[in-house]
Chains A and B, each alone.
Chain A
Amino acid sequence: MKKRFIIYIGLWANIILSACVKGDGNYDYRDASEVTPGDVSGIETFYSVNSLYNLHITPEISGITNDEDYEYYWVVWGTGFNQTNWKDTIGYEKTLDYVVTLTSGTYELAFQAKNKQTGVSVYFITDLSVASLYSEGWFVTKSENGTTDLDLVKKDGMLYSNILRSVNGEGLPGEALKSFYQSGYYVHQQENPDGTVTTLNGQKVIYVLSDRDMRVYNAENMHLFKKFEDAFFEVPAKAPQDAFLGMSGQFLINNGKIHWIGLSGSIGKFGYPMLGDYEAAPFNMGSMNQGMLIFDKKSSSFKGVPYGNTELVTLTSDFGQQDCNNMNCDLIFMDEQTAYFGVTKGGIALLKHKEKKEYYGAMLNMNWSSGKNPFVNFVTVPEGHEVVKGKLFATNCTNDVLYFSDGGNTVGMYNVSNGIEKKAILTYPAGENVGYIRHISYTTYNAGDQSLDCLAVLTNSTAGWKVYLYHFIGKTADIETPHYQSFSGKGTGKNVLFRGLNAYGIN
């Protein structure tokens, strides 16, 4: 036992003493600047290209003597909406030679050089912006000879007329109503020549509505995705009235019924109309992440239409609040006030009593999404105000103001909260009649400073349509005259939609 103990002690002593021996080693510490690969040069910090452009980048890496000793990667990933968790390797050579097939939007492009032996890597990340002909510009929905089409005006003023007919050989039958843009949540299934079906997820689309048809187009190239007949599981009678394209689904008001496409399990077809005995007025106050507020003509009530529901939601009022049910009113107008990225802060509605000669203005909030009455205030429009003669309306996105026109050559404004009306704040030459008004409050998302805050007024005359853009005076709803930009085209315009790079839903 004692002998074994001595052996143990001896062993431990050896271990402990050996730990104290100075290790001479044969390490050769080098200065950090001598380790390869070194710095990357020859790559710009920002590239802005058009779709199908041949992107050619020749990087230089300091400290490299033999290119063959390295592996190279060029990786790209999106920074716009609905592009998270996606990346693609577009090159394995030191020099990038890439025909840009990415859809329009903003991306980050990373270059990596990795030493095959040591595994040491060097990276360089740059910003890449991809545009297509249709990714930026003003889209005017118009009709000519009973056919609806789109005209596109680019930032530089270049006009592309009848792009639906140019790309697809035809526009839509009927008089123009409105267009809507959806930023990449659309699913489309296409049948291949061999009979198999390919599902295209995350598509950007433009819906175009006429009074007799609706079609869905690929917003990247304006190719037709779906006709009305292909856009439903059970095709209803054609009577499109309004739509709202949100983040979690897309709504269509057709013949007073609400159809919707959800995100989950979607194949880009509208389902059965939402349940219940209702007739939706052709307006909505949409919210990107919550759904729609609509007005049911049958019950004369505001109803909530949250994403995923099969039925309309009846809203409850608090004591003393103007009831939003059984109002005995007709809805003259309703629309959202879009705050930023398409997020809705509220909206404005204008109603007319069915029996009395009374009109009411209402500021709306988002309480409807929790089943509550949406009225912030509900006021009677003072007698003699011209807003009640309006045929066209538009909300100001930040103030409690409605712009209106009776379809003649003037635009007025009416403050719903304080009842102040300004008549004819804009007047156009005789014969040039107002066809559409819209406050365009566009804030870019990860696409540099391309913000836009203006009032767009579309007029029609025998010469065709014309769009005027106006700045606001400070943060007010007042208009700075004269207009700062205008552009025009042929036909009768009915709607103006501005699409910027990385635009969100535009309704």
Chain B
Amino acid sequence: MSNLESDPARFTATLDDREDHAPGDEPQEAAGHWVLNANIGLGFSVVLTVAAFALVIWPIVYGPAVAVALVVLAIAQMGVHLVFFLHITTGPDNTNNVLALAFGILVVFLMVVGSIWIMDHLSHNMMPMDQTMQMQR
């Protein structure tokens, strides 16, 4: 950190002249904009949260579709958090953050899908339990 402060010229020249922000590294003058942004985000996320509870409490949608609707709302909630609170944008100053997000999603995807697939396959090559029991007799 000390290095960044001691030599600001170097900091700007680092990434092929594209300034690169860390989350929370907002320029001072944009503070007002930041607050507005956060409030919009808060509004969205409250609406999405209330909607999720409402779907479960009252019969607004077709019963079997509730689970799918909840998944959609959860993903939307994640999007709101990423855009309004973590300030992930598609701008060139955000390349690292977008790459980190993509990497994180990839890792979680590999682990979750891989684990489900593997655990589902666990007894594929195994004799069914009742047969094993019979052999032991």
Whether A associates with B in a native complex is no
Interface residues, chain A, with chain B CB atoms under 8 Å away: none
Residues of B within 8 A of A (CB): none
